[in-house]
Amino acid sequence: MRALDITALLLVIIGAVNWGLIGFFQFDLVAALFGTMTAFSRVIYALVGIAGLYAISFFSKERYHDVE
Residue 67: per-residue pLDDT: 52
Q: For residue 43, tell me if it sits in a domain.
A: yes
Confidence of residue 64 (pLDDT cuts 50, 70, 90): low
Amino acid at 65: H
User: Residue 63 — pLDDT band, cuts 50, 70, 90?
Assistant: low
Q: Which residues lie below 8 Å from residue 15, measured CB to CB, with a gap of 6+?
A: 48, 49, 51, 52
Q: How many residues does the chain have?
A: 68
The domain total for the chain is: 1
67 domain residue, yes or no: no
What's this model's pTM, rounded to 2 decimal places? 0.82
- Say if CB 19 and CB 30 are below 8 A apart: no
How far, in Å, CA of 4 to CA of 53, rounded? 13
Strand spans (E) along the chain: none
Task: Please give the residue range of the domain that contains residue 30.
Answer: 2-60
